[in-house]
Homo-oligomer: A and B are copies of this chain.
């Protein structure tokens, strides 16, 4: 269950700023505080930090679809909810994010990247716990056949009743448009019915804890509060667990059930032994994997944030559990400041983040260890490189009851969007859990063996059996008796040594042999305290797991870099950093005159040779319209080819964000673009170096 955090998130995880965390308040006052602050939070989420202006998600969404960043899969067949295709700009963006991820993590740290299959046999996911526990609760309407995700249903019905209550009391109702839009169209509108104060309180408390109920509890709530199909008012069957893995069958016979992996981690764990060998037995090291994973959501919503097929990038960093999990490059990151929302703050009912360096966070013990801290800092650096707004990034620590029992600590990188705080990266210390379960199941030595610098001397009670006499005496029971003796604890051995000395014989429990007790004389058994020397240390490494939901990062980041031109609200701009922009350069000829063609070809070829993606737009649209289109595509630079260019091979270079232009020779322009794309220079640098141009931007 590596990605437990990804299991249910986005909407339920909207912890409002500085008010009780949803899962933990028990007073109506606290809840009301949350509801009031929620509106503020959502407002903040949709304000572009740089422009200070509100951005409209509906407008953004329609722009993203129009520009084919993404589109519902199988649209001409009516689509399938939770499945999206990325179009050309979306795919390029995705590829560039993956590329940066690979450079930032894999190449930078010599990680061992692997590519494992998505098809996974039943047994592996049984061992990992996914077969039994990777599930949501669903309710079926036996009459209509409709299926509801139980927690979502309870939430929808109770919220509607609370809304009706407010109306009846004449209070103002704050409408969450997103939720309204997602409601089944036929659903009956909430009636304005006043509820008992006690009932209101009970509903609010249920909603506050909606993420924490199991099937039995959901069943009780549904029965007690008479929750039915909101459309037909029909009764529902009790909730049943619905496993979120897509099941299939491998091979022609039906005797090998399998699943599509719900995460990339398992493939990495299973190869641990071979990877350690590849790494020449040297610890610590990390494996990494980038690939699609699958979750059969009951009712996907929230666009790209909750989909059934998605790209993940996961790192499994293997570390010696002894010695405090130090990291040799922690020094490099220790002064990085970040926004933390720790467990205790959440428990106290507040969601205000605290700024602190990661060095301090580890030193004070808030973050469990250096290795975990190192990756948390590296995750922040990565997200900022992508263009994430630092004011909309926080690291939230998992509550004790939110983490798996074996986890030592877990932090999520959350990005603030119009859907609330979205968990985009999880970073967990998973202890030795994963390697241990697979080792126990298969017997494979998923362990590290290393020579001890100093041999370890262990004083212990050892038992010797006289094999010559032992065999003939016990015959077919010999093996069972020997195994029982071997399994005796040190405490028991000490006690038995005294018995043996005193009585000349001992009695040992051996299940299934005779009466279950076996007598051993001193001529057949000897127990002595001796010193054993251990030259090799064997241990199961702990795993620190940074796990990235690439699609979520992509979408949240787009919200952060989106803004509209002051002069025209309809002119959207996506200010991607040049390194990840889908296309780096737009080449715009001012005329379709034949004399322009060789220049266009020459620019394209040279840019391509430099590895810089570019497009020519020689359509008949006005130059302003062509640039506006590319602002929406997030193309950071534009080269305008005009009649002057034909004469003297000079060009103008336009910056997307400022719309300012400079003019220079071809060589200078190409060099400027290269240094901008490589991140060596900023537009401000270029403006100082090359003469400004204020000519042709018409329209």
Tell me the A residues contacting B by CB distance below 8 Å: 67-68, 71, 73-77, 80-81, 83-88, 90-92, 94-95, 102-103, 107-108, 110, 112-121, 123-124, 138, 145, 147, 242, 246-253, 255-256, 258, 260, 267, 270-271, 273-275, 277-278, 280, 291-292, 294, 296, 298-299, 308-309, 438, 441-442, 444, 446, 608, 611, 613, 615, 619
Q: Tell me whether B250 and A73 are in contact (CB under 8 A).
A: no
* Most chain B beta carbons < 10 A, residue from A88, A123, A253, A309: A88
Residues of B contacting A107 in the complex (Cβ-Cβ under 8 angstroms): 608, 613
Nearest CB of B to A431, in Å = 20
Q: Tell me whether A77 and B270 are in contact (CB under 8 A).
A: yes
Residues of B contacting A76 in the complex (Cβ-Cβ under 8 angstroms): 270, 273, 438, 442, 444, 446
Residues of B contacting A74 in the complex (Cβ-Cβ under 8 angstroms): 120-121, 124, 270
Q: List 29 A-B contacts (CB under 8 A).
A: A68-B274, A68-B277, A71-B271, A71-B274, A73-B117, A75-B270, A77-B442, A83-B250, A85-B115, A85-B116, A85-B117, A86-B114, A87-B114, A87-B274, A87-B275, A87-B278, A88-B113, A88-B275, A88-B278, A95-B102, A107-B608, A118-B309, A242-B252, A247-B248, A247-B249, A248-B260, A250-B296, A280-B619, A292-B292
Q: Tell me whether A92 and B118 are in contact (CB under 8 A).
A: no
Residue from B94, B246, B292 within 8 A of A248 (CB atoms)? B246
Q: A80-B121, A117-B308 are in contact. List 19 more A-B contacts (CB 8 A).
A: A68-B278, A71-B274, A74-B124, A76-B273, A83-B117, A85-B114, A85-B115, A85-B116, A85-B267, A87-B112, A88-B112, A91-B113, A119-B308, A138-B252, A147-B252, A147-B253, A246-B248, A248-B260, A250-B296
For the complex, would chain A's binding face be called helix, strand, loop or mixed by DSSP majority?
mixed
Residues of B contacting A292 in the complex (Cβ-Cβ under 8 angstroms): 118, 291-292
Nearest CB of B to A360, in Å = 27
* Most chain B beta carbons < 10 A, residue from A120, A121, A252: A252
- In whole angstroms, how far apart are the Cα atoms of A75 and B273 in the complex? 11
Q: Tell me whether B250 and A80 are in contact (CB under 8 A).
A: yes
Chain B residue with the shortest CB-CB distance to A267: B85
- In whole angstroms, how far apart are the Cα atoms of A107 and B92 in the complex? 11
- In whole angstroms, how far apart are the Cα atoms of A611 and B518 in the complex? 69
- In whole angstroms, how far apart are the Cα atoms of A277 and B629 in the complex? 13
Copy number in the complex reads 2
Chain B residue with the shortest CB-CB distance to A112: B88
Residue from B87, B115, B123, B255 within 8 A of A271 (CB atoms)? B87
Nearest CB of B to A322, in Å = 23
Q: Tell me whether B85 and A271 are in contact (CB under 8 A).
A: yes
Residues of B contacting A84 in the complex (Cβ-Cβ under 8 angstroms): 117
- In whole angstroms, how far apart are the Cα atoms of A274 and B296 in the complex? 27
4 nearest A-B pairs in the assembled complex, by CB-CB distance: A76-B444, A86-B115, A88-B112, A85-B116
Residues of B contacting A250 in the complex (Cβ-Cβ under 8 angstroms): 80, 83, 246, 296, 308
Residues of B contacting A88 in the complex (Cβ-Cβ under 8 angstroms): 112-114, 275, 278
Residues of B contacting A87 in the complex (Cβ-Cβ under 8 angstroms): 112, 114, 271, 274-275, 278
Nearest CB of B to A625, in Å = 11
Contacts A138-B252, A271-B87, A442-B77 known; A103 to B611 CB distance under 8 Å? Answer: yes
Chain B residue with the shortest CB-CB distance to A146: B253
Residues of B contacting A611 in the complex (Cβ-Cβ under 8 angstroms): 103
Chain B residue with the shortest CB-CB distance to A244: B252
